[in-house]
């Protein structure tokens, strides 16, 4: 039979891990230092493992403790959601909402929508992370993620919605084109200064082209400048350092202000697909439902031919 003391031990353990000390956790829980220490000791005894490395100067989680902490955090979050659903049966979205976004697209396009949503629903408490790596929503306890690109087959337990495909185009600053001339064919790009996107592992993203048969192909280019951040690529192009191939959502404002000029428009092509993905086990929660609908409506990308 499950004892409520186990839950008390978990709550205390998470508080200590988050606070970084027994003293700070005791203050937050309004308990004595002795009570907190004994609670963690009982938990370690029951589990048969040490959860913390203790020295005179610092307190840190063991490898087993870090793994257990992740499980406990997800458990407490799910208990909070269950309590919200049972005790507060309002239709208004409320509660903690874990969201993961692609770094640049998320900051520029998604974050303002989420902040507006929190103004509309004061009970929402979003926890937002930004990463371009693949995130396992179920493993990491993410309620909803926005993804540029995605798996060919989505895992079981993950709901998803296709929002369109980004359009990528070639662009340069007017000052650069005045100095170096405007290329009119794909072959002429090799005579220009190319600004490319590079990843942390040393790989460089190729450029996308559509051949005479309408098939997409990739070409590795010789870049004069290689930058590991999309907004930094925009800055380099805007500074008249060369030509780049970028998603139109990233340079929309610069094109409208005339800071950048689209070139070789006939070579514009589809880039990566945009998806929403969420945990199906949480999709019935009002807070998840409203986010899915709000982002689906606001983030839809027009097709290349619209």
- Residue 127: pLDDT above 80? yes
Cβ(274)–Cβ(301) below 8 Å: yes
Task: Give residue-wise pLDDT tens across range 196-223.
Answer: 998 877 888 999 988 777 778 888 998 8
63-87 and 4-19 helices cross at what angle (nearest 10)? 120
Question: What is the pLDDT at residue 161?
Answer: 92
Q: Looking at domain 166-269, which of 3.40.190.10, 2.60.40.650, 3.40.50.2000, 3.40.50.720 is its CATH number?
A: 3.40.190.10
Token duo for residue 280: 């199906």
Please give the residue that has the higher pLDDT: either 58 or 8: 58
Asked if 176 contacts 259 with a C-beta cutoff of 8 angstroms, the reply is no
Instruction: For residue range 89-107, list pLDDT tens digits in order.
Output: 556 788 889 999 999 999 9
List pLDDT tens digits, range 263-300.
999 898 888 899 999 988 888 888 999 999 999 999 98
Is the pLDDT assigned to residue 305 strictly greater than 60?
no
Instruction: Read off the pLDDT band of 116 (50, 70, 90).
Output: very high
Instruction: Quote the mean pLDDT of the chain.
Output: 87
**CA atoms of 57 and 19, how far apart (whole Å):** 15
Q: What integer pLDDT is reported at residue 199 of this predicted model? A: 81
pLDDT of 256 reads: 94
Q: Give the gyration radius of the chain's Cα atoms.
A: 25
Q: Distance between CA atoms of 145 and 151, rounded to whole angstroms?
A: 13
Tell me: pLDDT of 261 over 90.
yes
pLDDT band at 304 (very low <50, low <70, confident <90, very high): very low
How many Å apart are CA 127 and CA 299, to the nearest integer?
20
- CA 34/CA 219 separation, integer angstroms: 65
Instruction: Using alpha carbons, select from 136, 151, 98 the residue that is nearest to residue 275.
Output: 151
End-to-end CA distance of the chain: 61
All CATH 1.10.10.10 domain ranges in the chain, comma separated: 4-86
pLDDT of residue 136: 79
Instruction: Round to whole Å and give the CA distance between 225 and 244.
Output: 10
pLDDT tens digit string along 15-67?
899 888 888 888 888 888 898 899 999 988 888 999 998 877 788 899 999 99
Asked if pLDDT for residue 231 goes beyond 70, the answer is yes
Asked whether residue 5 carries a pLDDT value surpassing 80, the answer given is no
Q: CATH: 3.10.580.10, 2.40.10.10, 3.40.190.10, 3.50.50.60. Which one for 89-165+272-298?
A: 3.40.190.10
Domain with CATH 3.40.190.10 in the chain: 89-165+272-298, 166-269
Q: Phi and psi dihedrals of 123, rounded to 5?
A: -75, -10
Pick the CATH number of 4-86 from 1.10.10.10, 3.30.365.10, 3.30.420.80, 1.10.150.300: 1.10.10.10
Residues in the chain: 306
Confidence of residue 226 (pLDDT cuts 50, 70, 90): very high
Q: Provide φ and ψ at 60, rounded to 5°.
A: -140, 155
């Amino acid at each position: 039979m499950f004892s409520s003391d186990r839950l008390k031990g978990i709550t205390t353990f998470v508080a200590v891990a988050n606070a970084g000390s027994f003293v700070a956790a005791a203050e937050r829980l309004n308990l004595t230092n002795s009570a907190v220490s004994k609670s963690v000791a009982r938990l370690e005894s029951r589990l048969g493992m040490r959860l913390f490395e203790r020295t005179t100067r610092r307190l840190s989680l063991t490898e087993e403790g870090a793994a257990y902490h992740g499980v406990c955090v997800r458990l407490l979050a799910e208990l909070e959601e269950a309590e919200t659903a049972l005790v507060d049966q309002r239709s208004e979205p409320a509660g903690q909402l874990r969201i993961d976004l692609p770094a640049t697209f998320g900051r520029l396009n998604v974050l303002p929508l989420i902040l507006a949503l929190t103004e509309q629903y004061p009970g929402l408490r979003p926890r937002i992370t930004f990463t371009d790596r693949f995130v396992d929503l179920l493993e990491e306890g993410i309620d909803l993620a926005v993804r540029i690109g995605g798996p060919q087959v989505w895992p079981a337990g993950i709901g998803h919605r296709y929002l369109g495909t980004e359009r990528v185009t070639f662009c340069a600053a007017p000052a650069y084109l005045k100095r170096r001339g405007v290329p009119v064919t794909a072959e002429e790009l090799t005579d220009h200064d190319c600004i490319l996107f590079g990843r942390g592992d040393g790989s460089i993203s190729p450029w996308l082209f559509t051949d005479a048969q309408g098939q997409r192909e990739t070409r590795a280019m010789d870049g004069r400048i290689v930058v590991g951040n999309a907004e930094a690529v925009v800055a380099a192009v805007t500074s008249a350092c060369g030509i780049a191939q970028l998603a139109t959502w990233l340079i929309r404002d610069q094109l409208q202000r005339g800071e950048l000029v689209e070139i070789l428009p006939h070579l514009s092509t589809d880039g990566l697909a945009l998806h929403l993905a969420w945990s199906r086990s949480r999709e019935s929660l009002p807070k998840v439902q409203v986010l899915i609908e709000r982002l689906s409506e606001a983030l839809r990308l027009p097709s290349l031919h619209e």
